[in-house]
């Protein structure tokens, strides 16, 4: 990657009248503003439709685009919506926060109106899109069946043939108008983004995308290709249920004999924990061990891949997935990259991620396959944060793609951390913080005083106004300038840090479910940014 600077901001956070950022004029305007600042990169979060907790990292598909990003104005220009319907899609109650509950209903109604007006040429183009993208067929089928099953997970669908992806049964659905609607929406997203991305690239900005390592259990990916995942065997399910029933029988007997029964430590006997629904479907699930973010680790619950099975066909599903992401983005950050080296695997019925173990991933041969399919791996970026184990260090040296450095992890006095700018390697992408961190200003306020003092001294900040925010914040600028001076080829700051905003604009707090992924900004916010200062540091430090 060329030496340069950039900004991290989710498409959803763009300003505009529709309650969420869309792939339209505001996206192009932001790219042009970045260019005026001397930036080269705009890093986005996954384009996946948001799932549990409104997270784009927990989607029903690893391939499908987020139709909430489709611009109603551009649909009007195509004759698919009326001006009044565009006005009806506007949302003015809160321009700083996203109301996903409202949008899910409003946008579905809007897009169904657009679909009803699609002409023969558009429908023919949609059919061609399906022929060229098997994933889109699976997505449209999955959504159509899910609609008929009132949103239930695929393992709870009433029709056993559809639940088990029977080809004859799914083929019968392909004349269903609801199937065609969902296919049309994916066609719209793909074509709309391709047009907007072209304008962004022409403005001189490259898009860095983000690909979650795992997929959701209740997803089109697992439903259509479950042999690629570690699924629960009938024998294991039977064993789990039998053990639970045995424990329940014992518990009932104890309570009949003594309603106040206690264990050997004098603690009242508790009813046995029920077998998790996930454990009736999946054998093992993903997570991470205890770390900086969580004392119990993080139990994500995503099914883990059966890498041995995937190897048999040359990792075809993964190659298709990467190819699709290469259509969307110029560069691709792979989240939780270390899982290709080793990953944390947890029994699906476990209570916390503490109960997991490290397992080997596919290793370097996976990237040799990428080289064969795509020519090289130069468009990839590794999210290699977390515990740096010897195997991960050796793996990163072997894979030779840029890793990540985060300044907010750096400033423990006496610890000459790899996250300190003087230790950055040239081949890395360095950040003040990521979407999972506090904002820079919020971090300065929340971190221990000795850490803050060391950071500010290291970055050459003098004065007592370190807590001042805003785009002219002297403390934030000192830290950003230090990042820009570093050896790292690419440096990225979240839009929140460019604006100098506090913790109330944080994008995500790992391990929590509420209040994440909803932050937006306004045109006034963007207009307040000192473009000239960023142009200056990009010029001074040859970015």
Strand partners, 208: 43, 331
Which of these is catalytic: 335, 408, 497, 525? 335
- Tell me which H or E stretch contains 28: helix 25-36
- State the Cα–Cα distance between residues 469 and 499, nearest whole angstrom: 8
Coil, helix or strand for 276?
coil
Which of these is catalytic: 210, 278, 345, 436? 436
Tokens 């932050």 belong to residue: 519
- State the Cα–Cα distance between residues 178 and 182, nearest whole angstrom: 6
Q: 436 an active-site residue?
A: yes
Produce one character per residue of 384-420: b if its CB has 16 or more CB atoms within 10 Å, e if not: bbbeeeeebeebbeebebbbbbbbbbbbbeeeeeebb
3-state secondary structure 468-515: CCCCCCHHHHHHHHHHHCCCCCEEEEEHHHHHCCCHHHCCCCCCCCCC
Q: 335 an active-site residue?
A: yes
- Tell me which H or E stretch contains 234: helix 234-257
Tokens 């072209």 belong to residue: 198
Ordered alpha helix ranges (H), 337-460: 364-374, 390-399, 440-446, 449-458
For residues 189 and 48, the answer to whether their CB atoms sit within 8 Å is no
Q: 221 an active-site residue?
A: no
Which of these is catalytic: 138, 192, 221, 383? 383
Ordered alpha helix ranges (H), 60-166: 72-77, 83-88, 100-116, 120-132, 134-148, 160-163
For residues 4 and 507, the answer to whether their CB atoms sit within 8 Å is no
Q: Are strands 4-8 and 41-43 parallel, antiparallel or unpaired?
A: parallel
Residues identified as active-site:
335, 383, 436
């Amino acid at each position: 990657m060329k030496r340069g600077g950039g900004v991290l901001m989710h498409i959803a956070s763009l300003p505009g009248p529709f309650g969420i950022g869309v792939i339209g004029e505001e996206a192009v305007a932001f790219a042009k503003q970045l260019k005026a600042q001397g930036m080269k990169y705009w890093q986005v979060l996954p384009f996946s439709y948001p799932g549990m907790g409104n997270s784009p990292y927990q989607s029903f598909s690893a391939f499908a685009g987020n139709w909430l990003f489709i611009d109603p104005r551009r649909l009007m220009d195509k004759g698919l919506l009326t001006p009044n319907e565009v006005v009806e899609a506007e949302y003015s109650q809160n321009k700083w926060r996203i109301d996903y509950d409202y949008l899910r209903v409003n946008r579905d109604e809007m897009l169904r109106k657009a679909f009803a007006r699609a002409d023969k040429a558009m429908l023919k183009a949609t059919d061609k899109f399906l022929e060229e993208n098997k994933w889109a067929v699976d997505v449209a089928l999955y959504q159509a069946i899910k609609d008929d099953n009132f949103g239930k997970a695929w393992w709870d669908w009433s029709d056993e043939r559809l639940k088990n992806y029977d080809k004859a049964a799914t083929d019968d659905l392909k004349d269903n108008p609801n199937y065609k609607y969902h296919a049309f929406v994916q066609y719209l997203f793909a074509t709309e983004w391709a047009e907007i991305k072209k304008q962004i690239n022409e403005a001189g900005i490259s898009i860095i995308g983000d690909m979650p390592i795992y997929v959701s259990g209740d997803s089109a990916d697992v439903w259509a290709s479950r042999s690629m995942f570690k699924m629960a065997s009938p024998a294991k399910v039977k064993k789990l249920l039998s053990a639970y029933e045995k424990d329940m029988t014992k518990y009932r007997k104890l309570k009949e004999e003594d309603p106040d029964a206690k264990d050997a430590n004098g603690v009242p006997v508790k009813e046995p924990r029920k077998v998790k629904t996930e454990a009736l479907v999946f054998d093992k699930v993903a997570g991470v061990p205890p770390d900086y973010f969580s004392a119990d680790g993080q139990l994500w619950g995503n099914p883990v891949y059966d890498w041995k099975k995937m190897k048999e066909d040359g990792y075809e599903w993964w190659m298709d997935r990467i190819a699709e992401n290469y259509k969307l983005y110029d560069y691709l950050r792979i989240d939780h990259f270390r899982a290709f080296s080793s990953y944390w695997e947890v029994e699906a019925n476990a209570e916390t991620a503490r109960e997991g173990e490290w397992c080997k991933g596919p290793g370097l041969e996976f990237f040799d396959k990428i080289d064969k399919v795509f020519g090289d791996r130069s468009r990839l970026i590794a999210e290699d944060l977390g515990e740096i184990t010897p195997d991960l260090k050796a793996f990163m040296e072997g894979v030779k793609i840029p890793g990540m450095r985060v300044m907010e992890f750096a400033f423990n006095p006496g610890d000459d951390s790899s996250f300190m700018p003087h230790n950055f390697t040239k081949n890395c992408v360095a950040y003040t913080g990521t979407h999972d961190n506090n904002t820079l200003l919020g971090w300065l306020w929340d971190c221990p005083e000795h850490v803050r003092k060391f950071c500010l001294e290291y970055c050459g900040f003098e004065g007592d106004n370190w807590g001042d925010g805003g785009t002219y914040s002297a403390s934030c600028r000192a830290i950003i300038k230090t990042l820009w001076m570093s050896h790292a080829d690419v440096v990225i700051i979240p839009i929140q840090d460019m604006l100098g905003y506090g913790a109330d604009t944080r994008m995500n707090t790992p391990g929590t479910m509420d209040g994440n992924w909803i932050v937006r900004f306004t045109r006034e916010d963007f207009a307040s940014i000192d473009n000239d200062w960023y142009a200056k540091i990009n010029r001074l430090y040859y970015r």
